[in-house]
A and B are shown apart, each in its own frame.
Chain A
Amino acid sequence: MERRFKLPAALFLLAVFHAAIIFAGFFAPYDFAAQDRELPFTPPTPIHFVDQHGNLHARPFIYGLSADPASPSLYKTDPTKEYPLYFLVPGAPYRIAGLFAVRVHFFGVHEPGRILLLGADAYGRDQLSRFLYGGQISLLAGLLAAALSVSLGVVVGALSGFYGGWIDEVLMRGGDLFLALPWLYLLFAVRAALPLHISQRQVFLMLVVVMGLIGWARPARLIRGVALSARERNFVLAARGFGASNGYLLRRHVLPQAYGVVLTQITLLIPQYILAEVTLTFLGIGVGEPMPSWGSLLSSLQQYYVLASYWWMFLPALLLIPLFLSFYVAADAVQERLKSIPL
């Protein structure tokens, strides 16, 4: 893609994803917890324009499904039941910004039809709805935790690299300690100390804090390297010669050198943190059922039978690829623009 389109394209994609996630209640056709026990592991619903008699329909429609009682999770489409697709249909109630109770959904079909664009999970819950709602926790927690990690990393790394000497020793050995800590066991202890049930808000805070604190040491090391090399550069030495203070040098000359590292670190950490949530959930400090999260959507892929039998369980993972890619492209483009701006 031509360079100047890269950033707008990436930003557009990011905007679409974020809007869909922020207004998950509107874009998701169903409630994330609504089970349909007759239809577990339903494959994605095909959308038709032409019916079985060869008639073209202006309004797309889907067919009804019926389960085979002899072998669960094998379904037959029932061509006698057609459910046309509508935009702005009433459905499960949800709240916008936690305030207004609304029933209107972006798209959907009338009951008892069920449109499952990404298929259904083991409980017959709509994967698309779970993906959108799951993003509310995972994406925000991932972003905030990555920001927390990297800001800690910037502060520690810049101080360490710029000042050197004993400050460097202390801060970097502290970082080593963080890298060497047996986190798994510490988290066991953390879970044991917490109350039995943790509310969604506490879970969210915990995710951000735990992931943010665990991950700062690596960016700190990288930024220390940048600061270390920056302070020896001729223009920094020259500025110092003109009497610039340490604070000014850090702010004006050293930190701007680290923008690239910061951006790439954030884009690399977000997907890592979204996956880290799987482990935290295993230890009992993640997002619990029935709340979806991207981590829990991905964790079902670790099982062989899902891999072998239910390919549509991979669709949420595939959807994450363009999202992370646009994060990366956006970071890359921003970095390039920064380079072209004289500091």
Chain B
Amino acid sequence: MHLAASIIFLCSFLWASGAPVQPGEDRMVTDNSPGRLGGRLVVALRSEPKTLNPVLAVDDPSRDVIRCLTADLIHISRESLKTEPELAKSWNVSRDGKQYTLHLRHGLRFSDGQPFSADDVIFTFQVYLDEKVHSPQRDLLIVGGKPITVEKVDNDTVRFELSQPYAAAERLFDGLAILPRHLLENTYREGNFSQVWNLSTPPDHLAGLGPFRMKEYVLGQRIVLEKNPYYWKEDRSGSRLPYLDELDFLVVPSEDAQVIRFQAGDTDILSRFGAENFSVLEKQQAAKSYRLHDLGAGLEYNFLFFNLNDLASKSLPEIARKQFWFQDVRFRQAISSAMDRAGIVRLVYNGRATPLWSQVTPGNKLWMDDALPRPARSLDHARQLLQSAGFSWKNDGSLVDARGAPVEFSILTSSSNSQRTKMAAIIQDDLSQLGMNVHIVPLEFRSMVDRLLNTFDYEAAIMGLVSGDADPTADMNVWISSGETHLWDLRGKPATPWESEMDRLMEQQETTLDFAQRKRMYDRVQEIVADDLPVICLVSPNILVGSKDRVGNFRPAILNPYALWNVEQLYVR
């Protein structure tokens, strides 16, 4: 037994060093310019990953690492924002749009050398869909109220069945890491899935289909990944990817510290940092041989919104009284008209942001409604709107409503987000020019979320959301009235005609397969957001990344992960 084990170990060692060519291995050829093999890159993580379990990970650091260790069936290209084959080399859709038959690449191996087959896919979806596992991605796999089903057709083919046609069906697979059944099935059957693949799991108990595999983990300091010798992609010249021998993740706990480490040359790639630090780094670009990239607007939208919740069951008379203003669309329009979006772009983001009038940013070229009006700031227009809504001004310039009550309200912001706190100070000043007395209430993030989602004890708030994907289905939760992120009103049903219309449009676009039709529906949703202003969209910050000159094939994108999405193609010059 012992001998057998060591022979297997020896064999796998030989495999590893020799980069074997499997007969019939269905490799994917990438279109990048061929790079140099070998070398090591260092990237910083904001905090230690909480887990390495792909089914349970929610935090960015965990997902950044897991993404390098695993692969999905169909992938969203970060460049085109469209789907492309990954582990599934092709797929057919049935005529009614409910059945997807995926043809898997044949003869692939996990990073521990064990073969990959349809059984792994079936097992993976069983785990993701298991209610007891509590995967955060489970919700995505419920289409039309029913979980999708999966069956094995043969060793290289699986079939997914949806209860109704679903426009973004192919995009569901992005980020769903295929698990090795041979390593995880027993633990799963025993009901201990939540404990697998944590930070104390020995590296040889982890295996995936990603470009890298775990080599070493130093608690609280760094994670070292090494090249997966079984990876299934190769470049045009036939060398097996990834090019890098090693990828190191360093734990560097703050943005400023990450910027300093990058500036000092300790890390090779920097992402998720602010415009102020961009300006600081910019000055030394040439001297320190790195390059900064401003990719333009990403998918984050920051907005101001008012509490339109049903407060009948809560004892918040003060806020309920102010809701008479908030519910009046003219009041919201006046506020939108008074917003100095250009000022926010300049003062908060040093010009590295884009003003917004609806939730879709210019970064999302597929879905943005170009015809949407983008009115410039006008205090006069705002005053007219307020006047038509029955507001008037006292001699000292302060605004009062039709009953003579002074217009005074507070805006919640998260005190840990310096950009939004700054936005609040600008908005406060903008609105004081209309005679409104606005207070800023910065709160620690969790206390703020508690007020927004549970107690409804707030008047207005500034928030930002980052769409998980360019497709509108990613934001269903925000725009349909039963969604959990329908922040301004969580009563679960539409309260106004425009909310009903938005519900209908969002549900329709989800089951419509024709892109042009869907685009028209989502354009209308953007119009509603811009006209009826459930949220007053303000700005979208640009995606900023930096890389050392020596990093080859660096092609950052506006969709998360901004810099490492093509990690298998990166090389050291």
Contact = CB atoms under 8 A, between A and B. Distances in A.
B441 A197 contact: yes
B310 interface: no
A288 B425 CA distance: 10
Interface stretch (A76-84, A188-196, A324-332): A188-196
B416 to A, nearest CB: 8
Q: Which of B340, B412, B415 has the most CB of A within 10 A?
A: B415
Q: How large is the interface on B (under 10, 10 to 19, 20 to 34, 35 or more residues)?
A: 35 or more
Interface stretch (B163-171, B276-284, B290-298): B276-284
B418 A303 contact: yes
Interface in A306-334: 306, 308-309
Interface string A22-60: 000000000001010100100000000000000000000
A122 B346 CA distance: 10
B457 to A, nearest CB: 6
A35 B429 contact: yes
Contacts of B276: 303, 305-306, 309
Contact of A283 (B343, B347, B415, B459): B415
A303 B444 CA distance: 18
Interface in B291-319: 319
Contact of B429 (A33, A188, A308): A33
Given A288-B442, A308-B280, A73 B350 contact: yes
Contacts of A192: 447, 450
Interface in A264-322: 281-284, 288-290, 303-306, 308-309
Contacts of A8: none
Contacts of B350: 72-73
B439 interface: yes
A106 interface: no
B280 A188 contact: no
B256 interface: yes
B422 interface: yes
A178 interface: no
B197 interface: no
Contacts of A33: 429
B47 interface: no
Given A284-B415, A304-B277, A37 B428 contact: no
A281 B441 contact: no
Given A73-B350, A123-B347, A305 B277 contact: yes
A184 to B, nearest CB: 9
B443 interface: yes
Interface string B435-472: 00001111110010010000001110000000000000
A261 to B, nearest CB: 36
Contacts of B277: 304-305
A284 B444 CA distance: 7
A288 B441 contact: yes
B222 to A, nearest CB: 22
B439 A197 contact: yes
Interface residues of A, number: 28
Nearest to B459: A196
Nearest to B425: A289
Interface in B262-282: 274, 276-277, 279-280
A37 B415 contact: no
B347 A196 contact: no
A304 B459 contact: no
A188 B256 CA distance: 26
Contacts of B259: 304
A71 B351 CA distance: 8
A88 to B, nearest CB: 26
Q: Which of A73, A122, A196, A309 has the most CB of B within 10 A?
A: A196
Interface in B397-449: 410, 412, 415-416, 418, 421-422, 424-426, 428-429, 439-444, 447
A288 B439 contact: yes
B428 A290 contact: yes
A282 B444 CA distance: 7
A288 B440 contact: yes
A296 to B, nearest CB: 10
A65 B260 CA distance: 32
A303 B428 contact: no
B458 A188 contact: no
Q: Which of A33, A288, A306 has the most CB of B within 10 A?
A: A288
Nearest to B415: A282
Interface of B: 256, 259-260, 274, 276-277, 279-280, 319, 340, 343, 346-348, 350-351, 410, 412, 415-416, 418, 421-422, 424-426, 428-429, 439-444, 447, 450, 457-459
Q: 6 nearest interchain CB pairs?
A: A304-B256, A305-B276, A284-B443, A197-B410, A289-B425, A308-B280
20 contacts: A37-B426, A73-B350, A122-B348, A122-B422, A123-B347, A123-B425, A124-B347, A196-B459, A282-B415, A282-B442, A284-B444, A284-B447, A288-B440, A288-B442, A304-B280, A305-B277, A305-B280, A306-B276, A309-B279, A309-B280
